[in-house]
Chains A and B, each alone.
Chain A
Amino acid sequence: MSEIICPYCGTSNSPDADQCRSCHKHLFVEPSASPTPHTSADDDWLNSLRGDTHPLPDDEPAQDESPAGSEDEIPDWLARIRQRTQEDTLEQPAGEAAEPGEELPDWLKEIHITDQSQTGEDQPADQTLDDIPLPDWLAASASPSQPVEDAIPDTLQVAAEAQAEPALEEGDLPDWLSALPQPAVEEQPGEESALTGEEPPDWLKTFGSYADESTPLEETPAAPAGDEWLKSFESFGEAAQSEEEGLPLLLPLENDQAQSVEMPAAEELPSDAAQMPVPSSEDWLASLSAGEQTPAPEAEVEPSAVSGEDWLRSFAAYTEEALPQADTPVPSGEDWFKSFEPLPVEQELPASAAEEELPPFEELSVSAEMQAEAPPFDLPYSQEFPPLEEMESSAVFRVQADESAAPEEEADTAPFISDDLPDWFADDQLLDTLHEGEKPAAEGETSLEPAELPGWLQAMRPLEAVAPGRAGNDADQRVETSGPLTGYQGVLPGEALVTQYSKPGIYSGRLHVLEKQRAYASLLENLVAEEKIRQPAPAERSAAPRLLARILVSALIVVVVLAFLVGGFTAVGLPGLYAPESVSFFNRIQALSTSADTTAPLLLAVDFEPALAGEIRTAAAPVLEDLLSNNIPLVILSTNPTGAVLAEDLLSTISGYNPDTVLNIGYLPGGSSALAALASQPRLAAPTDRDGGFAWDRPFLQGITHLSDFSAVLLLTDNTENSRAWVEQVAPVLGETPLLVIASNQAAPMIQPYIQSGQVTGMLAGLPGFAAYQQLSGSPSPQAGYWDAYQAGLMLIVVLILLGSLFFIGRQFSKPKSEKRN
């Protein structure tokens, strides 16, 4: 502590050094005499103070305001400060401050310097708090117009709650408080302060004089602890105890260092509230408290602790009240911080409050119990804090100042603002805040800047909050001179709007078109014109020619077929060449007919539709006749519901039909799956016959367990899919058993590949197959006219197709080219 910090380079120097050992600049600079905010040269108010203060000789005891016993612990610089203070108080009016504090933050130093310079210029003592460039939170708190409910920080709430608790006792002081020189309470008389034997500074004198007027010195309690501010706290508490509602308020501020402030309520302070001690060693804060409070002439407050810094005295002078005589200096350089702790409020402090234990600062944190137990307290200056629950966490410390104590013209000045202020301090916003704080704020209006509001809160704001005030442009200064609105300002200029419009100018509608563009336009116009020309609708073709052609073709076919079928005409002879599949089919049938073992039945699969029954029946009749004539048993099976009855109808027309050798199993449902089941287990796949009886008990079926046990499988089909299903599902399990097919002409081309691959042994396809079989068997066909009619009909169809093709070819050539394009 006994060192001098260079204001230029920050180097620590010995107390007796005049120049910095690092930058060789003078450590002590005379305080600026300019009334304007201080400059960078005189920022260090401590240096200026020390410049005025010569080091004391070692043998000279430091003039100490503290009680005896603490001199050994008081640093020499503080002793010099106190000495100078005493000297200044004799020379200067109250309100001057020249006591800096060591180890103070820079911003606070600047404030001190400014304050010091101002006080050195005999600045008016009634300067308001708004003149002080405070931090934003404190500046906002200094706004007299802002409600205190919105400005109390949480820490103050906590302090208020803590204040409700009993005061700390002497023995429970924190370490840092205990380390301070403590005056002997017992040794100090209660009627006098610790400085009774010394020359008090001016502000102490004024305070004391005020105390003399209102409160007898006999009532001033002695400081219970070894620190003056604690004594003042105690005395203040006792003084407040004499009042009905006086109660010290402990308002710890949440800062780097634990701070607490105790502020008296203005209206409830004793009449000599101006004499209340300002325990802080920081003048600016003291001035804050004093500048905002209304002097209460009836306050009975005993000053107990006063900082050793003179700027605090300026605050006291500003309050136009005398400082108590019982002012005692605080030897610590952090007095300003301590000064926040004991300030009386309306609440009554118990008599033993000073003796009660002061909880550590850590215990001053917010707790539910403390909040519940915290009685309502009042801020000084007739501003009562709301309940703690209603306080905003971001509220700033705002105190409503008395308008009489803070004139507006004085609030316009900001003497502490200089170029060296930090950015946050020199910000225009801060200045605006300061100025706004001077104005009486509307009820409910907060000091928060709009930009600081959270998004959700901004979204909840009503439209009036976003765009308050009246609608209209303030720049419109016109005043209505006529009509019923005469004298009004900002009336909508209807007449001006009418007169400002005029007839539009005449513009030429002529286009500047190039020749190329004109050609394109004409081409497009021609195209559109052609489309507009109504084309003659093509004449609706009459149905008569089509019907006539249809009747003509039908008549030709009918006549030709009947002529060859009924008339007995012979166009062509029977075929002399036979298809290989027809020959193979005939050979297999002949092999079955001539076989010695005729007991093996033949599986006849009937899978054709009634529409093509004539073709199938014609082709299958001679084959079935040969089989039945040779007593080959037949097992009829159909995958078509109508197949069974068609088969019976077919067999009924064949001579030699014996029902005992024929078993009609009937319909086999399931399609391909049924065929697969039949191929694997025919007895299970088709257990019953068409009548519902057990099918496999017939004599010719006794040895039949697989499809390969049949002599042959004859498929009558007119459908490609059915024939392919038979080939795919049944043919693989047949082995040596032949698969013969009598197919319609329309299905024969698709079965031909299976014949080529050997999966189908033989096939008769339609009338050609029938004719081939008849030719191969050498039996005259009773339906010989079929072949002639068939050949004649086919020739007629070929002719018609050729004629039709030639007609359309000729018609195509005879058409003009325009019709050909269409």
Chain B
Amino acid sequence: MDMDFIWTAVAFFLTLLTLSYLLGDNPLFRIVTYLFIGVSAGYVAIVLLNQVILPRLVAPLIFGSPAEKLLTLVPTLFSLLLLFKLFPRLTALGNPSMAYLVGVGAAVIITGAISGTLFGQIRGTIQPFGLSTAPDALQASSQLIGSVILLVGTVSTLIYFQFSARRKANQQVQRAGMIQLVAGAGQVFLAITLGALYAGVLAAALTALIERFDFLRTALQSMLP
């Protein structure tokens, strides 16, 4: 028996068990879920051991040059200290490693967010107003409309998240009239964005379902004589 057939049969069977969730939560679905979690965790552990720890930590310490060994001592020390996080009494010893991870990670993310997202999105909002790139007036006008909509959507969405308001006597706390109006427009843009995300989730799920049905069909065709 071909191994591909076996694994195809296993995949077919597990797919059917997963689709049993359409009838509600059942033990078959749970079995598949637990199996998936276990296999994924084991695979990740193997991958980390095979692709990270051995080639990047153990191998340099054993087979590397003195310089590599010396450089490898730093991550080795931090890794060993990180293991103390498993023990509540000695968890403080892992704080240096965690501090290093959090500090470096935060610095990298903030730097990338400022340079990659903040500046990039500001430029992307301003750039469409450069109508000189438009080949003709019609496209220029359409670009201008699109730019205005983009600008209004961006500004109104940002104002929507402005929750500052003044308290007046015997009145409900609410934002100023203009701010409230612009925030309402921003709320519309937010609703459209969330609708797009929801539609994307539905589309992605539907695509996955179609792919699984196509797999079932293919598997059946391959398993059936």
Residues of A participating in the B interface, judged by any CB pair closer than 8 Å: 547, 550-551, 554-555, 557-558, 561-562, 565-566, 610-612, 614-615, 617-618, 641-642, 644-645, 666-667, 669, 671-673, 676, 688, 690, 692, 718, 724-725, 727-729, 731-732, 744-750, 753-754, 756-759, 765-768, 783, 785-786, 789-790, 793-794, 797
Answer yes or no: B66 CB below 8 A from chain A CBs: no
The interface residues of chain B lying within 8 Å CB-to-CB of A561 are: 206, 209-210, 213
4 extra interchain contacts, Cβ-Cβ under 8 A, other than A667-B47, A673-B105, A748-B200?
A614-B207, A729-B112, A757-B127, A765-B200
Q: Is the pair B206, A790 in contact by a Cβ cutoff of 8 Å?
A: yes
Give B130 Cβ to nearest chain A Cβ, in Å: 12
The answer to whether the Cβ of B10 comes within 8 Å of any Cβ in the partner chain is no
Determine the chain B residues whose CB is within 8 A of the CB of A642 once the complex forms: 40, 43-44, 47
Number of interface residues of B (CB under 8 A): 53
Given contacts A565-B217, A745-B201, contact A789 B210 (CB under 8 A): yes
State A692–B104 Cα separation when bound (angstroms): 27
Q: List the B side residues contacting A645 at CB < 8 Å.
A: 43
When the two chains form their complex, are residues B200 and A667 in contact, meaning their CB atoms are under 8 A apart? no
Chain B at the A interface: SS class:
helix
Number of A-B contacts (CB under 8 A): 168
Report Cα–Cα, A757/B128, bound state, in Å: 9
Measured between beta carbons, the chain A residues less than 8 angstroms from B48 are 641, 667, 669
B162 at the binding interface (Cβ < 8 Å): no
Chain B contacts for A641, CB-based, 8 A: 43-44, 47-48
A615 touches B204 (CB 8 A): yes
Q: Chain B contacts of A718 at CB under 8 A? A: 204
Tell me if A758 and B197 are in contact (CB < 8 A): no
A–B pairs, 6, beta carbons within 8 Å: A550-B23, A612-B208, A673-B105, A729-B116, A757-B127, A793-B209
Q: How far is the CA of A783 from the CA of B112 in the complex (A)?
A: 39
- Given the complex, which residues of B lie within 8 Å of A673, measured CB to CB? 104-105, 108
Q: Which residues of B contact A671 (CB under 8 A)?
A: 105
8 Å CB contact of A766 from B40, B112, B150, B203: B203
The interface-forming segment of B50-58, B80-88, B90-98, B168-176 is B50-58
CB <8 Å contact, B208 and A611: yes
Partner of A746, one of B50, B123, B150, B204: B204
Which residues B207-225 have CB closer than 8 A to chain A?
207-215, 217
**Is B204 a contact of A758 with CB atoms below 8 Å?**
no
Q: How far is the CB of A36 from chain B (nearest CB, A)?
A: 83
In the complex, the answer to whether A767 meets B150 with C-beta atoms within 8 Å is: no
List A contacts of B150 (CB < 8 A): 756
* Chain B contacts to A: CB under 8 angstroms: 22-24, 40, 43-44, 47-48, 50-52, 54-56, 59, 104-105, 108-109, 111-113, 115-117, 120-121, 123-125, 127-128, 150, 193, 196-197, 199-204, 206-215, 217
CA distance A745 to B196 in the complex (A): 9
Return the contact of A672 from the options B52, B105, B196 (Cβ within 8 A): B105
B112 touches A749 (CB 8 A): no
Contacts of A753 in B (CB 8 A): 121, 124
Closest-CB distance, B71 to chain A (whole angstroms): 11
The complex places the Cα of A550 from the Cα of B16 at a distance, in Å, of 17
Q: A641-B48, A690-B51 are in contact. Are A614 and B208 (CB under 8 A)?
A: yes
Q: Cβ of A565: which chain B residues have Cβ within 8 Å of it?
A: 210, 213-214, 217
Q: Are B120 and A759 in contact (CB under 8 A)?
A: yes
Identify A676's interface contact among B112, B197, B199, CB under 8 A.
B112
Q: Which of A550, A551, A790 contacts B207 (CB 8 A)?
A: A790
Cβ–Cβ < 8 Å partners of A562 in chain B = 213
Q: Contacts A562-B213, A731-B116, A745-B200; is A756 near B124 (CB within 8 Å)?
A: yes
Contacts of B55 in A (CB 8 A): 688, 692
Set of chain A residues within 8 Å of B51, measured between Cβ atoms: 644, 666-667, 688, 690, 692
Q: Within 8 Å CB of A557, what residues of B?
A: 209
Partner of A728, one of B50, B115, B200: B115
**Residues of chain A with a CB closer than 8 A to B125's CB:** 757
Q: Return the contact of A615 from the options B52, B59, B193, B207 (Cβ within 8 A).
A: B207
